[in-house]
Amino acid sequence: MRAFLLTEDKDESPTPLLKALAQGLGNYRNIEDEIHRCIIGEGEVADNASAELQRLRKMIKTIQSRVREKLEAIIRSPEKQKYLQEALVTVRGDRYVVPVRQEYRSQIPGLIHDQSASGATVFIEPMAVVELNNDLKRYQAAEKTEILRILQVLSEQVGQESEDIAVTVNILARLDFIFAKARLSQRMDGGEPAINQSGYLTIRSGRHPLITGKVVPVSIELGKKFHTLVITGPNTGGKTVTLKTVGLLTLMAQSGLHVPAEPGTELAIFEEIFVDIGDEQSIEQSLSTFSSHMTNLVQILERTGPNSLVLLDELGAGTDPTEGAALAQSMLEYLHQRGAKTIATTHYSELKTFAYTSEEIENASVEFDIETLSPTYRLLIGRPGRSNAFEISRRLGLNESIVVRARSLLTQDERNVANLIEHLEANQVQAQKEREEALRLRQEAEELRRKLDQREKAWREKEDKILQKARDEAYNIVKAAKEESDSIVRDLREAMKRLPVKEELIKAEKERNQLRQMQDAITGQRLKKDEKAEKSLKSVKIGQAVYVPRLHQKGSVLTLPNNQGDLQIQAGILKLTVNIKELEAAQEEKEQKGKTTYAAVASSKAKEISRELDFRGTTVDEAMEQVAKYLDDAYLTGTSPVYLIHGKGTGALRSAIRSYLKNHQYIKSFRNGEQGEGGLGVTVVELKS
């Protein structure tokens, strides 16, 4: 454990507290090795634990062998065999004996050590081995003494380190507890929550740690916008489980445990947590349901403070509904005034209205599916719950006239509250759907933008590699030609000394000069590229005027570069994504009146672009890059229609291109080529103006 935790890493240790604990672990390898050398098997002392023990055990084996030899001689003797019950050597009282028939015991002189239960057999130690057995007993006693001495020496070695060993055992216990907490976190898929001392909590998809199987997570917050939460809803809907989940997760976090909740969960450190859940009525103590709850609540109200968490289940239950609701409201007001963070469950409609009309007090409910008559166990904050008694009764077959009469017995205020809750439910469900749809669309847009950025970056890198490779190949060709021409010239000069080849030499010199000019031109291009790299900007500011040589375009910076150096600029009416390496500082010059840079770019591209793009023989990825660039240029120059030549082949290119065109923002329509246009091997594309 010590070696594992104190292994030196190049990076800073991510577990400094564990390393600090490991520093206190002792290393007792010498004692361990000595114990392992002396003790083998299940508490057996090894022969080589000491030289004396080895000598004693050797002597014991020798004596045992001599005793057995003498006894074997007796039981094999034909004269003695008739006196024996069995021809075998056995042990009684750590002494070797032979079984003799009772009536012949006088025929085998020796000491009787035992007899059988029937009395027919006596176990006699023959006189011939008595002395040897005495020697054996002495050596066995000496062996025990030596073993005790060895164990005493080992115990003294442990005793000398006993204090340090006790510290090590305590540290190992702490480490074992830490790893047990980690294993628990792994088993319940827990995570480290953020911790605050401001008294607010936010639980994201928290799960009750003791519920197995499929668990509906609960998301809840308390302490920021509101300090008191009143949860309403039908029975078995999950109100009590929500209370217990909040309490357990808070206690787990304060105990240093991970909690089964999603990232973003933040829990507070409370001085005290008060809970009143369940029914503790007692006939023996004359406590009713209401009395048992009230006994707990009296103690809670006396001790609660601003740094307390209070969890109350079925507040005000067990008594007259009107008085119970009034009493529950009064207690919630008191807890709120004391600054406590409170979550209470109830069935009283009066508390729903109280939560609506009070500052920093909020309603919540557990959702109930009217269609299936079953709870969904989802907690909805900001929306009170309904008992749904009328709807459930009607669906279960209660006479409609009874349900109508029951509704009429409600007061106008109660009906108004019910209608308000129903209206809020509908609005909240619609808002939730719209929020989820907006989130989905945003994620799709971000994913599409990421893919486009990756594709543009890959295309730009590929373009740079192709251009650089072409320059290098041209340079190498010219260099090889120059070297060859130099060699020819040298040969001709040598030949001049012997032959009249002046004209040939002049011609070769001319060719050499031409090659040198070509090489200088390519070298100049390289120098130009290096100069261009030197001119490129290293950093930019928002709004800075820049120049893009590749597009012969000026613009202003809209965004700062990302990690890859890509940024956006505004060039006329266009927003372009370029790399900072492509930018140069813009030179101030007067624009020609009535002529825009956009027109210049469009005019330049219009001269170069063809109405046809032939990409037969390419892979799908290569074709996509070519088509994307070609369509951008065609749209910029207003060229339409255009002809994408992909060939017939297996149809893979055609299918991929058409799937791409369906979602392209510049495309107005596309179709197969007609008879004179290439048929199925061509796709004709109409671009938007």
- What pLDDT is attached to residue 312? 93
CA distance 678 to 491: 58
Q: Which of 143-157, 277-291, 393-407, 671-685 has the highest mean pLDDT?
A: 143-157
180: left (phi over 0), alpha (psi -120 to 50) or beta: alpha
| Average pLDDT score over residue span 396-423 | 70
Between 648 and 608, name the one with better pLDDT: 648
pLDDT of 19 strictly over 80: yes
Name the least confident of 15-19, 544-548, 571-575, 634-638: 571-575
Name the least confident of 8-17, 244-253, 296-305, 418-427: 418-427
- Please list the residues that pair with 683 across neighbouring strands: 644, 672
- What pLDDT is attached to residue 111? 82
- What pLDDT is attached to residue 512? 61
CA distance 139 to 131: 13
Judge residue 222's burial from the number of C-beta atoms within 10 Å of its C-beta, 0-12 exposed, 13-18 middle, 19 or more buried. Answer: buried
Using alpha carbons only, what angle is made at residue 578 by residues 572 and 579, rounded to the nearest 5 degrees? Answer: 145
| Average pLDDT score over residue span 358-377 | 75
* All structural domains of the chain with their residue ranges: 2-28+162-186, 32-160, 191-386, 536-591, 609-687
Question: 665-680: per-residue pLDDT in tens?
Answer: 888 888 888 877 778 8
pLDDT of 149 strictly over 90: yes
Q: Determine what percent of the chain is predicted with pLDDT higher than 70.
A: 82
- What pLDDT is attached to residue 291? 76
Question: 218-238: per-residue pLDDT in tens?
Answer: 899 998 889 999 988 766 667
Between 604 and 609, name the one with better pLDDT: 609
CA distance 241 to 343: 12
The closest alpha carbon to 361, from 223, 220, 200, belongs to 223
Place of tokens 């200088």: 520
- What pLDDT is attached to residue 433? 78
CA distance 83 to 62: 28
Signed CA dihedral, 556, 558, 560, 564: sign only: negative
The pLDDT confidence band at residue 509, using thresholds 50, 70 and 90, is low
- What pLDDT is attached to residue 249? 95
Name the least confident of 155-159, 328-332, 664-668: 664-668
CA distance 115 to 99: 9
The pLDDT confidence band at residue 90, using thresholds 50, 70 and 90, is confident
Between 554 and 426, name the one with better pLDDT: 554
Binding residues: 233-240
CATH T-level fold of 536-591: SH3 type barrels. (2.30.30)
CA distance 558 to 567: 8
Place of tokens 């599409």: 448
The closest alpha carbon to 250, from 278, 222, 212, belongs to 222
- What pLDDT is attached to residue 428? 65
Between 391 and 142, name the one with better pLDDT: 142
| Average confidence score pLDDT of the chain | 81
- What pLDDT is attached to residue 592? 41
Which three-class secondary structure state does DSSP give residue 426? helix
The pLDDT confidence band at residue 389, using thresholds 50, 70 and 90, is low
Biggest CA–CA distance in the chain, Å, is: 147
The correct CATH number of 609-687 out of 3.30.1370.110, 2.40.37.10, 3.10.110.10, 3.40.50.2000 is 3.30.1370.110
pLDDT of 392 strictly over 80: no
CATH T-level fold of 191-386: Rossmann fold (3.40.50)
For the chain, give the number of residues. 689
pLDDT of 451 strictly over 50: yes
| Average pLDDT score over residue span 277-283 | 59
| Average pLDDT score over residue span 441-457 | 88
The correct CATH number of 32-160 out of 1.10.1060.10, 1.10.1420.10, 1.10.1040.10, 3.90.1300.10 is 1.10.1420.10
What are the φ/ψ torsions at residue 205 (nearest 5 degrees)?
Answer: 50, 50
- What pLDDT is attached to residue 85? 76
- What pLDDT is attached to residue 596? 46
The closest alpha carbon to 580, from 551, 535, 537, 532, belongs to 537
Name the least confident of 310-324, 374-388, 451-465: 374-388
| Average pLDDT score over residue span 252-277 | 93
The closest alpha carbon to 584, from 650, 620, 532, 634, belongs to 532
pLDDT of 591 strictly over 60: no
Question: 300-319: per-residue pLDDT in tens?
Answer: 999 999 999 999 988 877 77
| Average pLDDT score over residue span 453-477 | 85
- What pLDDT is attached to residue 286? 44
Between 416 and 18, name the one with better pLDDT: 18
- What pLDDT is attached to residue 246? 94
What are the φ/ψ torsions at residue 569 (nearest 5 degrees)?
Answer: -130, 155
- What pLDDT is attached to residue 142? 94
The closest alpha carbon to 365, from 276, 239, 465, belongs to 239
pLDDT of 266 strictly over 80: yes
- What pLDDT is attached to residue 523? 54
Signed CA dihedral, 282, 288, 290, 296: sign only: negative
What is the DSSP code (8-state) at residue 667? E
Judge residue 322's burial from the number of C-beta atoms within 10 Å of its C-beta, 0-12 exposed, 13-18 middle, 19 or more buried. Answer: exposed
Q: What are the strands, taking DSSP E only, across 210-278?
A: 218-222, 228-232, 266-268, 272-276
The pLDDT confidence band at residue 429, using thresholds 50, 70 and 90, is low
| Average pLDDT score over residue span 5-33 | 83
Between 493 and 279, name the one with better pLDDT: 493
pTM summary value: 0.49
- Please list the residues that pair with 557 across neighbouring strands: 569
- What pLDDT is attached to residue 220? 92
Q: Determine what percent of the chain is predicted with pLDDT higher than 90.
A: 24
- What pLDDT is attached to residue 529? 54
The pLDDT confidence band at residue 102, using thresholds 50, 70 and 90, is confident
Edge-to-edge strands of the sheet including 682-687? Answer: 612-614, 642-645, 682-687, 667-672
CA distance 387 to 368: 9
- Cis bond upstream, residue 375 (ω within 30): no
Binding residues for ATP: 233-240
